[in-house]
Amino acid sequence: MSFHFADRIKRAPESFLSELFSVSNNPSIISFAGGLPSTSLIDTEGIAQATRQVMEEDARIALQYTTTDGYLPLREYIADRYRTRLGLPATAEEIQIVNGSQQCLDLFAKIFLNTGDHVGMERPGYLGAIEAFSLYEPVIDTVPLDDDGPDLAKFEQFVRTSNAKFFYGIPNSQNPSGRTYSQEKRKAIADILRKSDTVFYEDDAFGELFFDSKPRPPVKKYLPEKCVISGSFSKIIAPGMRIGWIYAPPEILAPFNVVKQAADLHSNFLCQKILHRYLTTHDLDEHIRRITRVYGGKCRLMCDLLNDQLPQVSHTTPEGGMFLMATLPPGISSRRVFDEGVKKKVAVLPGMPFYTDGGGEDTIRLNFSYPDEEMIKTGISRLAGVIKGLVHQQ
């Protein structure tokens, strides 16, 4: 039988993720390729306690339909955290709950993009955003990412010439590179965008995960009317709950709510209730400090091992988050590193999927949050053997 799928599906970029998932599910392979937070840091006892309380006290309501914008007390909690932690004047009316911040990418693109519209991204850019935006068939323009944020000259040229609907960026511990924008560049980006109609989409999935526990001022602080922020509890509580949010002006939330309702009516209400109960009965800041202490140690260990065992490989040195990016020796293909690595029981993510306009053949992304320290030591040793072997073959 012949199935007549929509043209957008035919034109969607081929995904590397299915191949990656099959590798990651092999327990004999040490994987630095995925994007998982540490399973050992999920507070299973605390979440179980919150679940019991909700089911004992409010089960019938928690198991019923709810409003599309989400559980009001949870939205108030998120808004209050923006006010106290970042000094942003957020209100619950500016917050909408979604199925993980990944859903924000799809719904935001749905309300903004027509076929052929321009949208901007960092180069390299987040693979999940590339895949989500591509389904709406825009022209994706990229701006090179320096160690301290986007190349400002190229960014200004992009804004001035593209008439883009929005620019998507991850200022804090960017995925895939691990880089963080400097405060100067955040201000400069806001100044450039203030003179245009381009919206800044600020993906803040990793903003709570700085190793020094110090919050960085968001771009939205300097561009309140033209900036939206998406956030997620996946990296700090539990990804399986699939609870994220968007913080945006009412003019954007109105159509966003319409497409959200059409997509799924509302996000999982039971999980929203459980999450709110957990957040209001546990010390979130202490929990996050524990996560960042562990991730900081793992990141330093991975960087030290790369420096010692692969001095010919350069890499980013993240201030937080879950990833770093490494540049391979000249002539070494990241795809070959992936293929040979799987044979040696270590997996990395080749850089090509993060580059919409070609490139990345000499880069790999490494995740340090999920594997434990012994896995990092063994995995980097295996990776060093793979790369040295490929160098010797040249």
- Position 39 scores a pLDDT of 96
H-type alpha helices, 25-82: 44-62, 72-81
Architecture of domain 64-281: 3-Layer(aba) Sandwich (3.40)
- Position 23 scores a pLDDT of 73
- Position 4 scores a pLDDT of 85
Please list, in sequence order, all residues whose beta carbon lies within 8 angstroms of the beta carbon of residue 61, skipping any fewer than 6 positions away: 273
pTM attached to this predicted model: 0.96
| Domain regions of the chain by residue span | 7-43+286-393, 64-281
Give which of 250, 341, 91, 222 is closest to 350, Cα–Cα. 341
- Position 123 scores a pLDDT of 98
Q: How far is CA 239 from the centre of its chain?
A: 12
Give which of 376, 31, 35 is closest to 205, Cα–Cα. 35
- Position 86 scores a pLDDT of 98
The distance in angstroms from the start CA to the end CA of the chain is 48
Cβ proximity of 244 and 214 under 8 Å: no
- Position 15 scores a pLDDT of 72
At CB < 8 A and 24+ separation, what contacts does 86-94 make?
86/215, 86/217, 86/218, 86/221, 87/217, 87/221, 88/218, 88/220, 88/221, 88/224, 88/247, 89/224, 90/247, 93/250, 93/253, 94/247, 94/248, 94/249, 94/250, 94/253
Strands 314-315 and 323-327: antiparallel
* Mean pLDDT, each 10-residue run in order, the chain (394 residues): 84 72 80 94 98 97 98 98 98 98 97 98 97 96 98 98 98 98 98 97 98 97 97 98 97 98 98 98 98 98 98 98 98 95 96 93 98 98 98 89
The CATH number for 7-43+286-393, chosen from 3.90.1150.10, 1.25.40.10, 3.30.9.10, 3.30.565.10, is 3.90.1150.10
